[in-house]
């Protein structure tokens, strides 16, 4: 095991990194962040912050020299940076797993081999959207294969002509066209898998999106025990198949009582933020434990929880007044310290704990209703 006091390296300075840093620090580790920005949510709390690009030679050399282990919090960190670091220190997750999650085409092909995925076609050129396009994929969603997140890099299309126009507008980059699914639920499962192969699954989160961005997560999700355990098993199987070491999230759609995998995130996930307040061990602490080669902690829930994302809209015309939220004895506010609020930007979240999912949801919606500019 890597003893407390050691440095853990982190590529990326976003809110996931901030929550990771705080968890690692509370166990006595020191965190060194690499981020190109002047200020970053993780850089502001880390013990050291290197302002550099992810492939910067000097920054990677410094991480390799000083850190006992390195992780990433940013989906699009170049897999090459992880590969280079892995030559001299323990890196989790591995570059190969990250590379699959960064490429929707590879991700879909991989997921289709382990669990089901919804109907889709790979679009590499304009002619893939002409003559022999499978008409059952329309209406659909055209998604760029690389660099999409929070609904960005995807366009809803109703006809082949619209799909062609969207493909051109996105620069003719490789895409997937997915059939628009009228799913019953969106859910996600987070697993943590250690270097020793120990794997634990968190309870299933039921996720509600607005405008392609996660809005609410409800835990435990309101679905049958059979589907919930199937989703946990499928997520474990995905982690095993990847030989994955780290925290991994798989998003699923539930359609006609069946699970279809949507995408994987090779890191802690927004739908797991509730675990800070509602679980014995948070997803961020698991990431720190895995890096330090400690045994995993229990993922068990203390109680039901509902997490609400706070987006930049809520900051117009100014910082919200948090009094009502903070006055609730079972509401926990987390702000990421971002200096500028933009629409759609994740500024923070709050989690409401309750004896029942219904109770927590009702309280969460009431508290949210008291804030300005909600979806």
Ligand X SMILES: Nc1ncnc2c1ncn2[C@@H]1O[C@H](COP(=O)(O)OP(=O)(O)O)[C@@H](O)[C@H]1O
Give least dist CB 143 to ligand X, A.
Answer: 6
The reply on whether position 209 binds ligand X by CB under 6 A is: yes
Supply the minimum distance, in Å, between the C-beta of residue 130 and ligand X.
Answer: 21
Q: Residues 278, 284, 290, 291: what is their CA dihedral angle, to the nearest 10 degrees?
A: -160
Does residue number 262 form part of the binding site for ligand X (CB under 6 A)? Answer: yes
Residue with smaller CB distance to ligand X, 35 or 186: 186
Structure tokens at 42: 């993780």
Figure out which of the listed residues 66, 103, 263, 313 binds ligand X, where binding follows CB under 6 A.
Answer: 263
48-56, 94-102, 173-181, 226-234 -> range binding ligand X (CB under 6 A): 173-181
Write the interaction track for ligand X spanning residues 58-97; mark x where CB under 6 A is met and - where it is not. ----------------------------------------
Q: Does 107 bind ligand X (CB under 6 A)?
A: no
118 near ligand X, rule: CB under 6 A: yes
Given the complex with ligand X, which of 49 and 141 has the nearer CB atom?
A: 141
Measured distance CA(28)–CA(256) in Å, rounded: 47
Answer yes or no whether residue 206 interacts with ligand X by CB under 6 A. Answer: no
CB of 65 to ligand X, least distance (A): 34
Q: Judged by CB under 6 A, does residue 220 bind ligand X?
A: no
Q: Specify the 3-state DSSP secondary structure of 335.
A: strand
Q: Shortest approach of ligand X to residue 153 CB, angstroms?
A: 7
User: Which H or E element spans position 205?
Assistant: strand 205-210
* Angle, alpha carbons 324-332-248 (nearest 5°): 145
Q: Which of 73, 107, 206, 251 binds ligand X (CB under 6 A)?
A: 251
Instruction: Please give the backbone phi and psi of residue 157, each rounded to the nearest 5 degrees, phi first.
Output: -130, 140
Q: How far is the CB of 92 from ligand X (least distance, A)?
A: 22
- Residues 174-203 binding ligand X (CB under 6 A) are 178, 180-181, 186
Instruction: Between 171 and 329, name the residue whose CB sits nearer to ligand X.
Output: 171
Nearer CB in complex with ligand X: 174/212: 212
* Inter-residue contact 141 to 152 (CB < 8 Å): no
Sign of CA dihedral 111, 113, 119, 122: positive
- Report CA-CA distances (Å) from 307 to 5, 38, 163, 220, 235: 32, 29, 35, 11, 21
Nearer to ligand X, 214 or 360 (CB): 214
Q: Which two tokens stand for residue 324?
A: 């009502």
Q: Does 345 bind ligand X (CB under 6 A)?
A: no
Q: Do 266 and 242 form a contact (C-beta atoms < 8 A)?
A: no
Size of the site for ligand X (CB under 6 A): 16
- Residue 147: both structure tokens together: 């660099």
CA dihedral 160, 163, 164, 170 (to 10 degrees): 180
Find the length of the chain: 375
Which residues in 135-164 contact ligand X (CB under 6 A)? Answer: 141, 143, 148-151
Residue 327 beta carbon to ligand X: minimum distance, rounded to whole angstroms: 32
| Short-list 255, 233, 355, 339, CA closest to 305 | 355
Helix then strand then coil, % of the chain, to nearest 5: 30, 30, 40
Q: Please, which residue, 118 or 348, has the CB nearer to ligand X?
A: 118
Instruction: Give yes or no for a cis peptide into 326 (omega within 30° of 0).
Output: no
Contact positions vs ligand X (CB under 6 A): 118, 141, 143, 148-151, 178, 180-181, 186, 209, 212, 251, 262-263
């Amino acid at each position: 095991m890597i003893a407390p006091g050691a440095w853990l390296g982190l590529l990326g300075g976003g809110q996931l990194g901030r929550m990771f840093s705080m968890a690692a620090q509370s166990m006595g580790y020191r965190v060194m962040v690499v981020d190109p920005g002047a200020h970053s949510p993780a850089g502001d709390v880390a013990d050291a912050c290197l302002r550099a690009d992810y492939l910067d030679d000097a920054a990677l050399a410094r991480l390799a020299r000083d850190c006992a282990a390195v992780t990433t919090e940013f989906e699009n960190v170049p897999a090459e940076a992880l590969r280079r670091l892995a030559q001299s220190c323990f890196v989790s997750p591995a570059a190969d797993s990250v590379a699959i999650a960064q490429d929707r085409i590879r991700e879909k092909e991989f997921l289709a081999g382990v669990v089901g995925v919804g109907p889709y076609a790979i679009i590499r050129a304009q002619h893939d959207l002409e003559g022999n396009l499978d008409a059952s994929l329309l209406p659909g969603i055209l998604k760029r294969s690389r660099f999409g997140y929070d609904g960005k890099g995807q366009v809803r299309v109703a006809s082949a002509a619209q799909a062609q126009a969207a493909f051109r507008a996105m620069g003719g980059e490789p895409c997937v066209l997915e059939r628009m699914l009228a799913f019953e639920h969106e859910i996600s499962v987070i697993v943590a898998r250690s270097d020793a192969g120990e794997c634990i699954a968190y309870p299933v989160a039921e996720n509600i999106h607005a405008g392609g961005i996660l809005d609410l997560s409800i835990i435990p999700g309101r679905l049958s025990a059979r589907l919930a355990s199937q989703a946990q098993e499928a997520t474990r199987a995905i982690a095993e198949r990847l030989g994955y070491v780290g925290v991994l999230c798989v998003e699923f759609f539930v359609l006609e009582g069946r699970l279809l995998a949507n995408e994987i995130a090779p890191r802690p996930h927004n739908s797991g933020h509730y675990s800070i307040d509602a679980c014995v061990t948070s997803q961020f602490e698991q990431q720190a434990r895995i890096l330090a080669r400690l045994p995993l902690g229990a993922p068990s829930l203390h109680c039901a929880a509902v997490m609400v994302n706070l987006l930049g809209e809520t900051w117009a015309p100014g910082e919200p007044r948090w009094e009502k939220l903070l006055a609730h004895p079972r509401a926990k506010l987390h702000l990421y310290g971002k200096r500028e609020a933009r629409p759609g930007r994740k500024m923070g979240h709050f989690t409401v704990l309750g004896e029942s999912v219904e109770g927590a949801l009702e309280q969460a919606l009431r508290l949210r209703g008291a804030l300005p500019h909600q979806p």
